[in-house]
Amino acid sequence: MRSTPKEKKPSMTGKLEGKVALVTGGRGGIGRAICDRFIKEGAVVYAADISDAGSMTSVADDRAKFIKLDVTSEENALSVMATVMKEAGKLDVLVNAAGIEIEKTIEHTTLEEWNRSFAVNVTGTFLASKHALPLLRNATTGGVTASVINFGSYDGFIADPGLAAYCATKGAVHALTRAMACDHGPEGIRVNAICPGYIDTPMLQSFFAGAGSGGKGGTIDTLKEAVRNVHPIRNYGAPEDIANLVNWLASDEARYASGQLWVLDGGLSAQVQQMRL
Amino acid sequence: MDNDFQKVAIVTGGGRGIGAAIVRRLREDGALVVACGRSARPEGLDDDVVWVRADVSWSGDANRVIETASKYGPVSILVNNAGVQVEKTVRDTTDEDWSNVIDINCRGVFNMSRAVLPIMEKSGGSIVNLGSISGHVADPSMAIYNASKGFVHSLTRSIAVDHGPAVRCNAVCPGWIMTAMAESGFALAEDPEKAKADAIARHPARRFGTPSDIANTVAWLVSDQALFVTGQLFTIDGGLTAASPLQPGLL
């Protein structure tokens, strides 16, 4: 039985020493792992989320500063950025990790659910980025770049069943990522998107219990062996796997990386559907 | 025969499967079709289809196909359909396998395109290459085939860029089309019927493709309806690759 990536500790390299980072959805499955990693790398980290608990229980040694943010509210975005400006004077790294998933086909998706999906996943990315720009510009001195990391999904390229609105919002994030990179690259602001595949988060577990099991019901526990076997690397991902890439994209090592969509899915989408032959 | 207004079309690998369907369709659409393949003229091929026995992986043979077709007028349609597959991983692929797949799938497309371009640059034309979904995403144990189709996709763009506006060049990328080639894939399964049912369930169209599905696409691409279409790859797979490779409902 090979070990899961979770059991391996990421190396601490102090890559983000002196940097200020804000992670929206910072109390979620992936957002939490990113905050933890950023802190280990020496950054000052703001975990912005709609509630302190988020979808994960708080941990005692969590040093990320919680800052309440409803990403759909422009007023909220403005006040959060004002706070960061006052306390830190700049923002080197913005991670737009807040996201929701409505597990329905378009037929059963209400207009309210559709609008809510876009409000959080797309408008949230827009608002946080828009109002972070003055702070990001403050971080770009002496040839150092600021980094915005959006959350797309492999679902922005190919569809999972019963996730129509989610898939559409992620496609929008992909296009927005390129547009932002194009517009703000000249100012020293890099913009990339990470497109995760199957990552072991509360969102994935919910997907398995609902739309993902084709209505049969199930959990990541009952399905995990089968799911692992469909992946070329024979495993689904851990939030820490995503944090590894976010950390690199946030660091100065990634100074030439911009406008790209980084699929991180254990090879899942590199293959044609795996028929049972 | 009055060829003044009849387009001359070449279809490589036109003897069977998808190629044969393209031959039939272009003929129905009014083209004079020259088909080629490594075998003798197939039985039942319509009398007015010209057959050239040729191996497109040899430039001499490719040139001979173009010369034969040119007797009927300037060639304005070339469909590079000839292709073979070897069902192996890189580790198991022999030098012979490599030559077989790369010579036909890659060199063949190159040989035919190079030979036809001087004609098409003068009088206009449309090249359609047969790529594959396997050139975008990997089919297991088809390493060299997958790579050969990636070559075709890339060459398609280069020809379009280098030889427009006189020449348009596009690729059609079929998914699972029920041909002898696909049947041999299912033959590898423990339970071929069960494997087929599973595969069909993964297609939003809930069926496999037919050779005529591909012929329809080729016919449109070479028609005057597609005069602004060039340098593109068109996937015709019943929706297969629009969906995730992981279908929890089918696990």
Which amino acid does the sequence have at A192? N
Of A166, A198, A236, A256, the active-site residue reads: A166
Residues B140, A270: C-beta atoms closer than 8 Å = no
| B 177-216 residues with CB < 8 A to A | 185-186, 188-190, 194-195, 198-199, 202
B142 token code pair: 């088809």
A111 token code pair: 């207009």
- Distance from the A181 Cα atom to the nearest Cα atom in chain B, whole angstroms: 25
Do A106 and A164 touch, CB atoms closer than 8 A? yes
Residues B240, A273: C-beta atoms closer than 8 Å = yes
| SS3 assignment, position A147 | strand
Q: Of B137, B248, B251, which has the smallest distance from its Cβ to A271's Cβ?
A: B137
Check if A103 contacts B (Cβ < 8 Å).
Answer: no
Length of chain A, please?
Answer: 277
Alpha-helix residue ranges (DSSP H) falling in chain A? 29-40, 74-88, 111-118, 124-139, 164-184, 202-209, 220-230, 239-250
Q: Tell me which chain B residues have a C-beta less than 8 angstroms from the C-beta of A197.
A: 246
Residue A268, C-beta contacts closer than 8 angstroms, at least 6 positions apart: A154, A197, A198, A230, A231, A232, B244, B245, B246
Question: Edge-to-edge, what's the strand order for the sheet holding A44-49?
Answer: A65-68, A44-49, A20-24, A93-96, A146-151, A189-196, A261-264
Q: Tell me which chain B residues have a C-beta less than 8 angstroms from the C-beta of A155.
A: 244
Check if B138 contacts A (Cβ < 8 Å).
Answer: yes
Active site residues of B: 145
| SS3 assignment, position A18 | coil
Q: How far apart are CA A273 and CA B139, in angstroms?
A: 8
Q: Tell me which chain A residues have a C-beta less than 8 angstroms from the C-beta of B138.
A: 270-272
Residues A158, B202: C-beta atoms closer than 8 Å = no
Check if A233 contacts B (Cβ < 8 Å).
Answer: no
As a whole number, mean pLDDT of residues B70-80 equals 98
Q: Of B195, B246, B248, which has the smallest distance from its Cβ to A275's Cβ?
A: B195
Residue A48, C-beta contacts closer than 8 angstroms, at least 6 positions apart: A22, A23, A24, A25, A26, A66, A67, A68, A69, A71, A80, A98, A128
**For every one of its 277 residues, what pLDDT tens digit does chain A have, with 9 covering 90 and above?**
344 444 445 455 688 999 999 999 999 889 999 999 999 999 999 999 998 875 554 454 557 899 999 999 999 999 999 999 999 999 999 999 999 999 999 999 999 999 999 999 999 999 999 999 999 999 998 889 999 999 999 999 999 989 999 999 999 999 999 999 999 999 999 999 999 999 998 888 877 776 556 556 566 677 778 888 889 888 889 999 999 999 999 999 999 999 999 999 999 999 888 776 6
pLDDT band at B138 (very low <50, low <70, confident <90, very high): very high
As a whole number, mean pLDDT of residues B179-193 equals 79
Please report the sign of the dihedral spanned by the C-alpha atoms of residue B73, residue B77, residue B83, residue B89: positive
Mutate: best of A154, A275, A276, partner B, most B CBs <10 A: A275
Q: Of A208, A218, A269, which has the smallest distance from its Cβ to B245's Cβ?
A: A269
B220 token code pair: 């449109």
Nearest to B10 by CA among B93, B89, B88, B66: B66
